[in-house]
Homo-oligomer: A and B are copies of this chain.
Amino acid sequence: MIQDDISEFVQHGDKHFLHHLSIDCVIFGYHERQLKVLLLKWKNADKWSLPGGFIKLDEPLEEAASRILTERTGLSQLFLQQFHTFGEPKRSERTEEDIAHLESVWRKKVPENHWLLKRTVSVGYYAVTEYSQVNPQPDYLSEECTWHDVDNIPKLVFDHNLIISEALKALRIQINLQPIGYNLLSKKFTLPEIHDLYETIIGKALDRRNFSKKLLSLGIIKKLDEQKSIGAHRSPYLYKFDKRKYDKALKEGIVLAF
């Protein structure tokens, strides 16, 4: 069954997908001051890659990105954001080892000029999720689908390390222009919790007072008449997002200037 899927993909994919074009997804996972990236381990090989794939002949790019992510990792409902298209001519060149691996999975010889050996331009998408709340699963082409610290990413196939670093740059710019945090924090959270989230994503220290002043003055978060008990003499106030203002800021953009 799985072998049928592989054969169908390798042998007949050229009839179902646009040639020369692919999508790669950088899925960032946040949990308690940790920022991770979701990677797939190729079947029977010590090779890691981003979840990626091809675009059906009549499929809009955004739909293709969601479908590919779901097929390859089981994740769905993420807000995928296009950030850059990667078009170096040799970016997707397969090494002899890569081709040998493809042949071992396919169990056939890959002919020259095979569609999977053609130059491929890849459109990059990213999303951010709370990684303790999702359970990614590998597909028939992979044997693992796991989270890796952004500071400790193995050498990946093709130009996937570059794609991750560009995605991280884009995310760090975006966090200045749109709010983030809804679905990444509990419904009620403390100021240190949301401050940790922003510091972890931006990757640098942010002044605590200025940080909360900005979010409060924009009305994106609001203080609740409720405290969290986290130990003797420590009961910080809880906050929640003002969903209406948050969505407005998402749509219209803000400038946080961190």
Contacts and interface: CB of A to CB of B under 8 A. Distances in A.
A205 to B, nearest CB: 16
Contacts of A173: 177, 253
Given A176-B255, A255-B176, A255-B257, A59 B21 contact: no
Interface string A50-72: 00000101111110100000000
Interface in A120-137: 121, 123
Contacts of A121: 18, 21, 55, 61, 123
A82 interface: yes
Interface stretch (A26-34, A84-92, A100-108, A182-190): A84-92
A258 B86 CA distance: 30
A222 to B, nearest CB: 22
Interface residues of A, number: 30
A64 B88 CA distance: 11
A82 B83 CA distance: 10
A94 interface: no
Contacts of A62: 87
A85 B61 contact: yes
Contacts of A84: 82
B258 A255 contact: yes
Nearest to A89: B58
B85 A123 contact: yes
A20 interface: yes
Nearest to A56: B89
Nearest to A255: B257
A191 to B, nearest CB: 22
A131 B86 CA distance: 30
Contacts of A61: 85-88, 121
Interface of A: 18-21, 55, 57-62, 64, 82, 84-89, 119, 121, 123, 173, 176-177, 253, 255-258
Given A20-B21, A82-B85, A176-B177, 19 more contacts: A19-B20, A21-B21, A57-B119, A60-B87, A60-B89, A61-B85, A61-B87, A61-B88, A61-B121, A62-B87, A85-B85, A85-B123, A87-B123, A121-B123, A173-B177, A176-B255, A255-B255, A255-B257, A255-B258
The 6 closest A-B pairs by CB, nearest first: A61-B87, A255-B257, A257-B257, A85-B85, A58-B89, A18-B20
